[in-house]
Amino acid sequence: MTDAHAHAEGHDSHDVKKHVKIYMMVFAALAVLTVVTVAVSYLHLPMPAAVVLALLIASVKGTLVACYFMHLIGERKAIYATLALTFVFFIVLMFMPLWGRTDQVHTGSMKPAHTEAPAPAHGH
């Protein structure tokens, strides 16, 4: 075995150890975030706050998985543009129910628009 070959193997071994260390740190972060998710469920937050917090935690976990386990962290601008567009659509979809609810509150029509007329009286 030549010195160059031995040096290359040592370098490869160092790279593998570095990647394993990163994967273990990401795994630990995912485990901690899972515990945080469970802990937050016991806080009895109002529904909108609970949904936003749960989606925020899930987004962080999803980003960690996509970046490190799916190896997207080193990808080019097209990936980032796609992720940015996805984020914009995500925000729009999260606020759509609030926009519909505000329209109902401002118009004062919280009950259905169609109401039946009272039944005619049978007595003459």
How do residues 4-18 score in pLDDT, each as one tens digit?
A: 555 555 568 888 999
Tell me how far apart the alpha carbons of residues 23 and 73 are, in angstroms, rounded to a whole number.
13
- At 72, is the pLDDT very low, low, confident or very high (cuts 50, 70, 90)? confident
Out of 19-23, 48-52, 106-110, pick the least confident.
106-110
- Nearest by Cα to 55 from 19, 91, 106: 91
pTM: 0.55
In the chain, where the domains are located: 10-74, 76-106
Over the stretch 43-58, which tens digit does the pLDDT of each residue have? Answer: 999 998 888 899 999 9
Mean pLDDT for the stretch of residues 65-76: 81
Tokens of 77: 């601008």
Q: At 44, is the secondary structure helix, strand, or coil?
A: coil
Better-scored residue on pLDDT, 61 or 76: 61
CA distances to 62, 66, 77 from 94, in Å: 17, 21, 25
Residue 5 and residue 11: Cα distance in Å, rounded? Answer: 10
